[in-house]
Structure 1
Amino acid sequence: MHIHIPDGFLPIWLWVLGYMLMMLFIYIALTKINEDNPKKIVWASAIAAMMLVAMSIPLGIPYHLNLTVLAGIILGPWWSLLACFVVNGVLASFGHGGITIVGLNTLITWFEALTGLYLYKNLRKMLEKASITVGISTWTSLTLSALLVIGLVAVSGVNPALAMHHETSTGQISITTFAFLTLFFALPGAAVEGVITALILAYIKRVRPTLFEEEGL
């Protein structure tokens, strides 16, 4: 999930706060990745490219694939942040949301990556089948992200229709309608993404099992 509000609508304090928090976490990330596996930059580039393609594919509904949980599990907390920043920056430069929303969208997508990663690691201790663990982690993470987006749109005070994809963003809608539409598409969409994420991870594990061994996954 992320917000598609064009420039000029969000209150200044909100998008500035988003940028400030994003830059703070990126600064921390840059200090942390020096201690990380240098091979991660290759995986970060590949995963970011996959995320960019997934988020760019129109599905005809106000939902698209994110692959953020995949990024969290493969890249870890800090490299996934950098991947989210790059992807949201590129998307904004092509008009997929405004430039002012990049900070908030980076934080939202990173939230998905983080929650997905930590849910996966904790559920993996309890559930034997990795695919089920990935599916549950992805669905839960994206559902929480949808609730976060609803909360941010409510706090912003903008017309919630602006935050929808262009296919449905006409006229004025209430925050209640926005919340209903968001969850109506996000809940099944997150389930589908859970299956896709599990399949991608299963394939990566089959061709590069050492990656999972190195990361303790």
Structure 2
Amino acid sequence: MAHIHLGEGSFPLWALVLWTVVGAGLIGTVLWRVRQSGIKTQQIALAGVGAAASFAIFQLNIPVWGGVHMNLTGLVGILAGPALGALIALVVNILSAALGHGAVGLLGANTLVNASEAIVAYYAFRSLLRLDWDVFPASSTAATIGLSVGAILMGVIIVVSGVNGSALPRSDLAIAVGGMVGINLGVAIIEGILTGFIVQFLASVRPDLVGVGDRTEPEESNGVTA
């Protein structure tokens, strides 16, 4: 959902290096975790489908305030998990940059933004399920929270980095970016609701894909009979 649509050379060199290093550190940590815990075949299949769906919808750009679109990273995180969700965010950003949707130099920053959406959505979803929330409100709320975190992180990265060639002082830049973040927060709600419907449908037909199989089985009676 959130994505930095600035062109090549928009960020100063120190910012490019900083976000690239931080992004590489995140991906390195994810790869180490995957190597330690392994990946189930089912997760690989979900990751492939999730990456294809995310990439496809990611290319549909609405030209509002620098570009607004959906990318289903909240859904990807909920279904594939935080580690694979972060890797999918990297792959989608690489493929998108290759098509001119996003600067190559901003791969680190954009991967941080989109990976955070998937990771936060996954842990928020699991936390809400443990609080006995139903699948739809849990998934829609979790996706909205994850996407909101990504939108705010995107704004922070732009304001901290600054934009080369911009005549706006940092305070005015923060106000302009704040408006863009606000629009993305609105889109986060819409995408969150869409994610809720998708996860609810999957939970009804294949609860194992969502990890709620134990919630759909009828409870045994604990009554006492004479």
Q: TM-score range by the shorter chain?
A: 0.7 to 0.9
Whole-Å separation in 1 of the counterparts to 2:191 and 2:94? 22
Q: Does 1:52 align with 2:60?
A: no
Q: Distance in 1 between matches of 2:90 and 2:63?
A: 25
Q: Which amino acid aligns with 1:92?
A: A
Which residue is equivalent to 1:156?
161
Which residue type is aligned with residue 62 of structure 2? L
1:7-36 deviation digits (Å, cap 9, x = unpaired): 112111222222222223323323332423
* TM-score, length-scaled by structure 2: 0.82
Distance 1:103 1:199, change over 3 A: same
1:202 is aligned, of 197, 200, 203, to 200
Q: Is there any run of 5+ residues in structure 1 with no aligned partner, and where?
A: 162-172
Contact 2:109 2:157 (8 Å CA) reproduced: no
1:128 counterpart SS class: coil
Q: 1:140 to 1:213 in 2, by over 3 A?
A: closer
- For residue 216 of structure 1, report the CA deviation from its aligned partner: 7.7
Aligned 1:7-156 pairs, distance under 5 A: 7-34=8-35, 35-61=38-64, 62-156=67-161
CA contact 2:199–2:210 (8 Å) conserved in 1: no
Deviation string 1:22-55 (CA, Å, 9 cap, x unpaired) is: 2233233233324231332221111011111111
Q: Distance in 2 between matches of 1:214 and 1:194?
A: 19
Q: Contact (CA 8 Å) 1:131, 1:198: kept in 2 or not?
A: yes
Identity of aligned residues (%): 28
Counterparts in 2 of 1:216 and 1:78: CA distance versus 1, 3 Å: farther
CA distance in 2, matches of 1:160, 1:201: 44
1:71 Cα deviation from its structure 2 partner: 1.1
Which of these two proteins has the greater Rg computed from alpha carbons? 2
Distance 2:163 2:146 in 1: 25
The answer to which of 134-143 and 68-77 deviates more is 134-143
SS for the counterpart of 1:158 is coil
State the alpha-carbon separation in 2 of the partners of residues 130 and 102 from structure 1: 33
Does 205-214 or 76-85 show the bigger shift?
205-214
Does structure 1 retain, via aligned residues, the 8 Å contact 2:74–2:144? no
Q: Which amino acid in structure 2 is aligned with residue 90 of structure 1?
A: L
TM-score w.r.t. the length of structure 1 is 0.85
Cross-structure match for 1:180: 179
Cα contact 2:85–2:118 (8 A) shared by 1:
yes
Decide which of 188, 191, 214 is 1:190's aligned counterpart.
Answer: 188
Over the residues paired in the alignment, what is the CA RMSD in angstroms? Answer: 2.3
Q: Amino acid of the residue matched to residue 13 of structure 1?
A: W
The CA deviation at 1:74 is 0.9
Question: CA-to-partner distance for each residue in 1:83-135, whole Å, 9 max, x for gaps?
Answer: 01000001111111100001111111010111111111112222432111112
Structure 1 residue 214, shift from structure 2 partner: 8.0
